[in-house]
Amino acid sequence: MAQNLSSFVEIQALSDFTMHNLPYGIFSETPDGNKRVGVAIGDLVLDLAALETHGLLQLDETIRYFDQPTLNKFIDSGKANWQKVRQTLQSLLSADNPTLRDNAELRQQAFFKQNTVTLHLPLQVPGYTDFYSSKEHATNVGTMFRDPKNALLPNWSELPVGYNGRASSVIVSGKDIIRPSGQIKLPNEDRPIFSATRKLDFELETAFVVGKATELGQPIALEDAWDHIFGMVLLNDWSARDIQQWEYVPLGPFNAKTFASAISPWVVTMEALEPFKVKGPTQEPKPLCYLEENVANSYDIHLSVEVQSPKSQQTDVICETNFKYMYWSMAQQLTHHTIAGCNVQVGDLMGSGTISGPTENSYGSLLELTWNTTKPLTLSNGEKRGFLEDGDRVIMKGYCEKNGIRVGFGEVSNKVLAAKSFRFTEKEEASYETV
């Protein structure tokens, strides 16, 4: 790890966006303005399209990689260009390099305050897959809804369980979440009712971005999988637990998961995360040979969830956990995803699954934190929560820190809005019964 890279840009001590990070995103000066690629540095956005125009970041004489509304074109240019751009940016931002430092006119054109621009969904997401790779989370859910002695199904320890999600409803941090409605089966009723969900939940996750496409029928070998991963984002995989409980047998999640999956606007590259690699949990039984991995395959990423009630001026930290607890690695997930011949595309998003740790305050969902409302949380203002209520804001944060070097993800933050009204004959109850 390079130590103490210094920049002429002022960077606060606890900033997520240091010289060691330089995550990519899409921004515009106004909500409807020209979208282009930017990099976060301190509290600023560096306009890569401006650098490209001035010949400081030119990868091809005929192709504009950074005057683009998504990151896909740049990502698709390949790993050699990822490395080249990162090195070039670290050089241009260095305190010792006068190219940007001493060019006031160019700095005026290339730098924007983050709080003055609009951040957009950074990717065109062709496909979205969500895994189920936290042993602690899977065990908690299995204990709650099945026999505690057999909380994990037999296949869970043999393969990375996942499902194909809905790419069209992947959204960026800042977009409001409309409470979903659907079929709910109440315990005292013979048939389901139509209702807004009473059990709206978050799921603390990360997701990786596929950086290299494959052909149909061509699996990705485990030793090659890391070359197909561009970077990571924070992910809130929003869930309607009561809709899910009724619909998920026999084919798994559907409407309970399709209404929104929110990601952070900055994509942190795998190169930036490299110094924070750690060995994941011991896997027993030993995976089949195509999934056997004997390298440092996880990351020490500190994660947290905060909830802000509409009746409170402050947030409450309700969960603190770490990515390193994940049982299945991103490489194992990607290899298993493609082993039957499924092709992947640049920009595909692969969710980790809910990240829960071994302690009660490290559970990555309200379902677990409140044990399905049997142990409601008490917020600092005295309010109780079993699940989320209208007006609640959920904020997820993540960062790595080692030897004084910090690399962070920023946050993914969304507010819950009331459900839409439907002119159906079924009677809808006003109360959400969240506790």
Amino acid identity of residue 194, one-letter, is F
d(CA 240, CA 255) in angstroms, rounded, equals 8
User: For residue 236, which amino acid is it?
Assistant: N
| Phi, psi angles (nearest 5°) of residue 417 | -105, 160
| 52/65 Cα distance (integer angstroms) | 8
Contacts (Cβ under 8 Å, ≥6 apart) of 289: none
The CA distances from residue 320 to 236, 250, 302, 308, in Å, are 15, 33, 7, 16
137 counts as catalytic: yes
DSSP 258: H
CA dist 40 and 122 (Å) reads: 13
Burial of 185 (0-12, 13-18, 19+ CB in 10 A): middle
Cα atoms found within 13 Å of the Cα of residue 278, Cβ hemisphere only: 17
Name residue, tokens 């709910």: 184
d(CA 127, CA 125): 6
Distance CA(200)–CA(416), nearest Å, equals 9
Q: How long is the chain? A: 435
**Which one of the listed residues 137, 228, 336, 337 is annotated catalytic?**
137
Closest by alpha carbon to 391, among 177, 150, 129, 182?
A: 177
179: DSSP letter: P
Hey, which residues are catalytic here? Answer: 137
